[in-house]
């Protein structure tokens, strides 16, 4: 099988600027998400994710403008998320040129949205993002960026989302996120082995070995990370060369 495992940098965008700093030398506009995205694309990132963390209405408009610029300037697929609550938001993002949208809180609040997106635009457009926290041996799903606990449980909810028409599951472990000691590979392996759709690992990347482990042990189809790329701790080019040496099929 030759389908490559994907490496996906995630950019948080507020008022049109990337939030996390970067250590890229010679990058004139490090705060510009389009310039940064372009840089990642040149380093052989497989896809990009842009998350709108702006709250204001004006910020949303700025984000849509940014999506249009990304679509015009970057020739790899990209997903957008944040503030997508209804079909109209999805349409606005796709019209601006996004390839996929990621929905998180809105999917739990209104699970029918998944089916609506799938039937209007195709399953491949709909990435369902799940933030979950391991508590007493149960993966509990959270809303609103991890602030609101729900009755939903990871495996059950991921299965339901898949049956409703999600094209991919993006799972972030709140226990692993920011700790930089590896991804939640046990849970990821269960998701990958039970779902008929691709699974993206998120939360916990600290070193190259963590990516190898999430592909080998976690059976993930793709791995997403932010700070290790933004701060220049891991270069995507070097990471992919390393993964290839470790016997993982990646696009160089």
Q: Give the residue, chosen from 133, 180, 216, 219, that forms a contact with other proteins under the rule CB under 8 A.
A: 219
In whole angstroms, give the CA distance from residue 174 to residue 131: 6
Per-residue contact string for residues 66-85; x = within reach of other proteins by CB under 8 A: -----xxx-xxx--------
User: Out of 12, 46, 89, 210, which residue is the one contacting other proteins (CB under 8 A)?
Assistant: 46
Least distance (Å) between residue 151 CB and other proteins: 28
193 binds other proteins (CB under 8 A): yes
Nearer to other proteins, 105 or 123 (CB): 123
Distance CA 239, CA 44 (A): 10
Of 20 and 159, which CB lies nearer to other proteins in the complex structure? 159
CA distance 231 to 103: 26
Q: Which residue, 46 or 213, has its beta carbon nearer to other proteins? A: 46
User: Contact 219/189 with Cβ under 8 angstroms?
Assistant: yes
Residue 115 contacts other proteins per CB under 8 A: no
DSSP single-letter state for residue 23: -
247 lines the binding site for other proteins (CB under 8 A) = no
| Complex with other proteins: residue 2 or 136, whichever CB lies closer | 2
Positions annotated as catalytic residues are 12, 131
Residue of 22, 13, 142 lying closest to 78 (CA atoms): 13
Residues 6+ away with beta carbon under 8 Å from 235: 43
Supply the minimum distance, in Å, between the C-beta of residue 95 and other proteins.
8
168 in contact with other proteins (CB under 8 A): yes
221 binds other proteins (CB under 8 A): yes
Cβ atoms within 10 A of the Cβ of 8, count? 24
- Which one among 22, 33, 36, 41 touches other proteins, defined by CB under 8 A? 41
DSSP H helical ranges for the chain = 33-42, 57-73, 87-96, 105-109, 112-121, 154-164, 185-194, 208-216, 227-230, 236-245
111 part of the interface to other proteins, by CB under 8 A: no
């Amino acid at each position: 099988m030759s389908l490559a495992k994907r490496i996906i940098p995630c950019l948080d965008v507020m008022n049109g600027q990337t939030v996390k700093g970067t250590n890229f030398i010679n990058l004139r506009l490090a705060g510009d998400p389009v310039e940064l995205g372009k840089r990642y694309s040149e380093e052989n990132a497989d896809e990009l994710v842009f998350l709108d963390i702006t709250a204001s209405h004006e910020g949303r408009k700025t984000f849509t403008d940014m999506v249009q610029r990304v679509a015009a300037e970057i020739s790899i697929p990209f997903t957008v998320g944040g503030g997508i609550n209804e079909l109209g938001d999805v349409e606005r993002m796709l019209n601006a040129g996004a390839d996929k949208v990621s929905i998180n809180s809105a999917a739990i609040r209104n699970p029918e949205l998944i089916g609506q997106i799938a039937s209007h635009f195709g399953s491949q457009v709909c990435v369902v993002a799940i933030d979950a926290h391991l508590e007493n041996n149960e993966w509990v799903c959270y809303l609103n960026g991890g602030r609101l606990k729900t009755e939903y449980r990871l495996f059950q909810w991921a299965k339901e989302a898949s049956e409703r028409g999600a094209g991919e599951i993006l799972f972030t472990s709140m226990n692993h996120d920011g700790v930089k000691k590896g991804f939640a590979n046990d849970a990821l392996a269960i998701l990958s082995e039970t779902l008929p759709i691709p699974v993206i690992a998120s939360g916990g990347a600290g070193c190259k070995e963590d990516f190898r482990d999430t592909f080998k042990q976690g059976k993930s189809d793709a791995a997403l990370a932010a700070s290790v790329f933004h701060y220049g701790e891991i270069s995507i080019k070097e990471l992919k060369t390393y993964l290839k040496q470790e016997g993982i099929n990646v696009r160089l």
